[in-house]
Amino acid sequence: MQYKNLLITEEDGIAIITMNREKALNAINTQTMSELNYFFTKDGLERNISGVILTGAGSKAFVAGADIKEFSGMSSDDGKAMAKKGHDTFFAIEQFPKPVIAAVNGFALGAGCELAMACHMRIAGEKARFGQPEVNLGLTPGYAGSQRLIQFIGKGKAMELLMTADMIKAPEALSLGLANHVVPVGEEVAKAKEILLKIATKGPVAIAKVIECVNAYFDKNQDGFAKEVDAFGELMDTSDFVEGTTAFVEKRTANFEGK
């Protein structure tokens, strides 16, 4: 696939994906969603990378929402198909075997907030704003905002934000657990990169298993505790486990190969 709305670069083994529709405040349209889906289900899996950073072009928005212009004339079936594609894509991000961090450099509203929540971590710039304003349009969130927001901030506060359409600023997002860190404007990607470079020194197979285990906790079709037991045992058959334990005993830095 040729990327039209995503700008993808690689630095130090990290893929940096920039939503590149600055004039539209990086709103997610059908093309953007297809490109995100392709990266996280195919292209990204084939790249030799240790992690991914998602951010938005310009200084105003990470992603200000879905492209509302595309909603005109849609039927119920059209809406369900659009929501299903969004769910599938954001699940692919959530389940990606390498850590994915959202560098939120402005508005993360509607689909933008949902995209950020699908990532494994969120770094917010001081001017970042989060919200699910869909009720202003007579809609509910369509890309799992009503489900993931509860995981981060609890039912009561999630209900409030979902029904009032209020935005929250970066410090409140941090205090609620929606953001991992708040940094000065312009330093969002640098902080995300700092975290990913630290993670890259750990066992890659173990990192992938951590992602699986944490996701399993929220999956009604899985027993997260059983998943952890299996993962712990399976990792003992890996070369990374041998290297990690040997390096610990020898008091040296482990040289993991992801095997």
- Examine the residue annotation and report whether 172 is marked as an active-site residue of this protein: no
Q: How much of the chain, in percent, has pLDDT values that exceed 90?
A: 95
> Does the pLDDT at position 1 exceed 90?
no
The 10s digit of each residue's pLDDT in 191-221 is 999 999 999 999 999 999 999 999 999 999 9
The 10s digit of each residue's pLDDT in 119-132 is 999 999 999 999 99
Amino acid at 178: L
Q: How far is CA 7 from CA 10, 74, 106, 174, 232, in A?
A: 10, 29, 18, 28, 37
Which residue in 35, 94, 114, 212 is the catalytic one? Answer: 114
Query: Helix (H, G, I), strand (E, B), or coil: what is residue 64?
Result: coil
Residue 84 has a pLDDT of 97
> Does the pLDDT at position 180 exceed 90?
yes
Residue 49 has a pLDDT of 97
The 10s digit of each residue's pLDDT in 26-62 is 999 999 999 999 999 999 999 999 999 999 999 999 9
Residue 141 has a pLDDT of 97
Tokens linked to 167:
């935005």
CA angle 131, 135, 136 (to 5 degrees): 90
The closest alpha carbon to 47, from 80, 96, 95, 86, belongs to 96
Determine contact, residues 24/67, Cβ cutoff 8 Å.
Answer: yes
Which pTM does this prediction carry?
A: 0.96
- Examine the residue annotation and report whether 46 is marked as an active-site residue of this protein: no
Neighbours of 169 (CB within 10 A): 14
83, 116, 207, 49 alpha-carbon torsion, rounded to 10°: 90
Which residue in 35, 94, 134, 188 is the catalytic one? Answer: 134
Q: What is the mean pLDDT of residues 231-254?
A: 93
Residue 259 has a pLDDT of 92
Q: How far is CA 234 from CA 227, 231, 239, 241, in A?
A: 10, 5, 11, 10
Determine contact, residues 196/50, Cβ cutoff 8 Å.
Answer: yes
The 10s digit of each residue's pLDDT in 58-110 is 999 999 999 998 988 889 999 999 999 999 999 999 999 999 999 999 999 99
Q: How far is CA 84 from CA 78, 88, 108, 143, in A?
A: 10, 6, 20, 8
Neighbours of 1 (CB within 10 A): 11
